[in-house]
Amino acid sequence: MSDHHHDHGEACGCGHDHDHDHEHEEFVLTLTDEEGNDVDMVLVETFDVDDKVYALLLERNNPEADGIILRMEEENEEMVLYNIEDEDEWKKVEEAYNELVAQQEEV
């Protein structure tokens, strides 16, 4: 019977990058849901529609949950996120997002 042991080398596939000490910096926002619970959201992607910038956010602890898309605006050098309340605006954003996803799936 032979002994099998596995050493963690540089390309061990364990999901950690052994070359870098620093973590990839996530842009995390805390939003409050309808029940008043704080939910950590990670900014995954931003995209432009009609000269406006939109952000796709996913739940940090529940990546399977549906993401949300908010409009980003800069106010006093700070980024502020707004819900999209205009239906026409939402349709445009949804179409742009679907296109973005389709492009990524082709890669």
For each of the chain's 107 residues, which pLDDT tens digit applies? 445 444 544 544 555 444 444 455 678 888 888 899 999 999 988 999 999 999 999 998 887 888 899 999 988 988 889 999 999 999 999 999 999 888 878 77
CA distances from 66 to 41, 57, 59 (A): 11, 9, 8
- Write down the pLDDT at residue 40: 92
User: How crowded is residue 79: how many other Cβ atoms within 10 Å of its Cβ?
Assistant: 14
Going by C-alpha positions, the residue among 44, 43, 42, 46 that lies closest to residue 60 is 42
Whether the pTM exceeds 0.85: the reply is no
- Write down the pLDDT at residue 92: 96
- Write down the pLDDT at residue 42: 92
The C-alpha angle with vertex 18 and arms to 29 and 8, in degrees rounded to 5, equals: 125
